[in-house]
Amino acid sequence: MSQLRAAAAAGGLRRSGGRAVPAARRSRKGASPRGGTQAPPPTPHVFSDPAEIGALRRNLLAWYDRCKRDLPWRTLAATEPDADRRAYAVWVSEIMLQQTQVATVIDYYNRWMQKWPTLQALAEASLEEVNELWAGLGYYSRGKRLQEAAKKVVSELAGRMPRTAEDLQKLLPGVGRYTAGAIASISYGQATGVVDGNVIRVLCRLRCIGADSSSPAVIDQLWDMANALVDRSRPGDFNQALMELGATVCVPKAPLCRECPVKQHCRAWRRVEKELAFASQKLFGKPTPVPDVEDCGVGGCPLCPPAMEPWDSSLGVTNFPRKAAKKQPRVARTATCVLERRGCHGAPEYLIVQRPSSGLLAGLWEFPSLPLDQDLQEEKQREALADHLRAWTGWPVVAGGLRFVGEVVHIFSHIHQTYVVYSLPLDGDVTLDPALTPSRWVTEEEFHASAVSTAMKKVLKAREKQRGEESSPGKGSKRKRATKPQGANSTRPGTQLSLRAFLRPPTSP
Ligand code: SF4
* pLDDT tens string 314-323: 999 999 999 8
HSE toward the beta carbon, residue 401, CA cutoff 13 A = 24
pLDDT of residue 144: 92
- DSSP structural state of residue 312: -
- DSSP structural state of residue 300: T
Biggest CA pair distance of the chain? 100
Decide: helix, strand or coil at residue 404: strand
Asked if 291 and 278 count as a contact pair (C-beta separation under 8 A), the reply is yes
Please state the atom number of ligand 1 nearest to the C-alpha of residue 201.
1
Asked if 354 and 365 count as a contact pair (C-beta separation under 8 A), the reply is yes
Decide: helix, strand or coil at residue 116: coil
Q: Which residues pair with 335 in a beta bridge?
A: 370, 420
Asked if 53 and 20 count as a contact pair (C-beta separation under 8 A), the reply is yes
Residue bearing the CA closest to ligand 1, atom 1:
250
pLDDT of residue 475: 53
Residue bearing the CA closest to ligand 1, atom 4:
266
Name the catalytic one among 94, 340, 349, 469: 94
Please state the atom number of ligand 1 nearest to the C-alpha of residue 255.
8
Please state the atom number of ligand 1 nearest to the C-alpha of residue 249.
8
pLDDT of residue 352: 93
Residues having CB closer than 6 A to ligand 1 are 202, 205-206, 249-250, 255, 257, 260, 262-263, 266, 268-269, 317
The alpha carbon of residue 160 and the mean position of all alpha carbons in its chain are separated, in whole angstroms, by: 28
Q: Which of 250, 253, 264, 273 to mutate for ligand 1's pocket (most ligand atoms within 8 Å of CB)?
A: 250
Residue bearing the CA closest to ligand 1, atom 2:
257
Give the Å distance between the CA of 279 and the centre of ligand 1: 21
Give the Å distance between the CA of 259 and the centre of ligand 1: 9
User: For residues 316 and 275, what is the distance between their CA atoms, to the nearest angstrom?
Assistant: 9
Give the Å distance between the CA of 245 and the centre of ligand 1: 9
In order along the chain (509 residues), what is the average pLDDT of each group of 10 residues? Answer: 36 30 30 39 77 98 98 97 98 95 96 98 96 92 94 97 98 95 98 97 96 93 97 98 98 97 97 87 68 61 84 94 86 94 85 88 92 88 91 83 94 90 80 76 94 94 89 55 36 35 36
Q: Tens digit of pLDDT for each residue in 449-476? A: 999 999 999 999 999 999 888 877 665 4
Please state the atom number of ligand 1 nearest to the C-alpha of residue 317.
7
Q: Which of 257, 320, 322 to mutate for ligand 1's pocket (most ligand atoms within 8 Å of CB)?
A: 257
Give the Å distance between the CA of 316 and the centre of ligand 1: 10
| Alpha-helix residue ranges (DSSP H) falling in 370-438 | 378-393
- DSSP structural state of residue 37: S
User: For residues 194 and 181, what is the distance between their CA atoms, to the nearest angstrom?
Assistant: 6
Please state the atom number of ligand 1 nearest to the C-alpha of residue 262.
3
User: For residues 366 and 336, what is the distance between their CA atoms, to the nearest angstrom?
Assistant: 9
State the helix-helix crossing angle for 83-97 and 177-188, rounded to 10 degrees.
Answer: 140
Please state the atom number of ligand 1 nearest to the C-alpha of residue 261.
3
Decide: helix, strand or coil at residue 2: coil
Give the Å distance between the CA of 20 and the centre of ligand 1: 22
HSE toward the beta carbon, residue 192, CA cutoff 13 A = 20
Q: Which of 56, 259, 263, 264 to mutate for ligand 1's pocket (most ligand atoms within 8 Å of CB)?
A: 263
Residue 19 — φ and ψ, nearest 5°?
-95, 145
pLDDT of residue 491: 35
User: For residues 466 and 402, what is the distance between their CA atoms, to the nearest angstrom?
Assistant: 14
Give the Å distance between the CA of 250 and the centre of ligand 1: 5
Give the Å distance between the CA of 430 and the centre of ligand 1: 61
407 labelled catalytic: no
Give the Å distance between the CA of 352 and the centre of ligand 1: 49
